[in-house]
Every structure is written in C-alpha cells, then in structure tokens.
Copies of this chain bind each other. A is one copy, B any other.
C-alpha cells in the first residue's frame, strides 16, 4: 500500500500550504477547482486525510463545524459563542504538557488535546 504522486495529491498539499492556516475541505476544493475543474470533492477529502495521516498537514477537528486543515502553523485553541454558535480562534499559549496533569491515565496513551472555551462574542453581547 505505497503512495503514489498524483497531480491531485500535489494540488491538495500545495493548496493547503497556500491557504495558510485552518482551511476547510470545501475551501481547498473551491481553490483547486478553479485551475483543475475535473477534481472531485471526494478526492480532496481523501487526500486531506491521507496527507494528515502521514503528517504532511494537520487536521483540526472542530465541534459543530467542518474539519480544518493546517499546514504546520502554531497550535491554538478555539472559543464558541453560546448565542450565535460561531467559532473563534483564541490567543493563548499552547500548553504542550497539559497531559502531565492527568492523575491516572488508566492505560490511555495520550497524543494531544483540544480546548474549547465558551462564552458570548462581542457581537452577541449588546
């Protein structure tokens, strides 16, 4: 099951890099389709997953929204407005060793974490 270099795969990787941080699959698709109209959505999804599996890009799963794909930019957290439901980036240092605080891992092998803050966004707070 070795990987092949396809035009489509290369385009997906290039486009994620080009779009910088947290592009959605749809955004990547829309960008590619301008230059390569025959590409299918499925191919974009498949390659985004494959590229994140082999560590070329990072998948950021977002509750209540489309997954985001980052080229290797800084790790960050998110906040959701409890009124309008929108998601925002939070300016806070990434806590790399948060897993150390877990008392009893119970055999779980931790590989990372997400933090989702909740609150009311400026626009809803009037």
Interface residues of A (CB under 8 A from B): 60-64, 67, 79-82, 88, 90-93, 98-99, 101-104, 106-122, 125
Is A82 a contact of B63 with CB atoms below 8 Å?
Answer: no
The residue from B88, B111, B115 contacting A113, defined by CB atoms under 8 A apart: B115
The residue from B60, B62, B115, B122 contacting A108, defined by CB atoms under 8 A apart: B122
Q: Point out the residues of chain B lying under 8 angstroms from A104, CB to CB.
A: 91
Is A107 a contact of B125 with CB atoms below 8 Å?
Answer: yes
List 5 tightest A-B contacts by C-beta distance, closest first. A61-B63, A107-B122, A61-B64, A110-B119, A91-B103
Q: 18 other contacts beyond A79-B110, A81-B108, A107-B125, with CB at 8 A cut-off? A: A60-B63, A61-B116, A64-B67, A88-B106, A90-B102, A91-B102, A92-B103, A93-B101, A93-B103, A108-B120, A110-B118, A110-B119, A111-B119, A112-B118, A112-B119, A113-B118, A114-B116, A116-B116
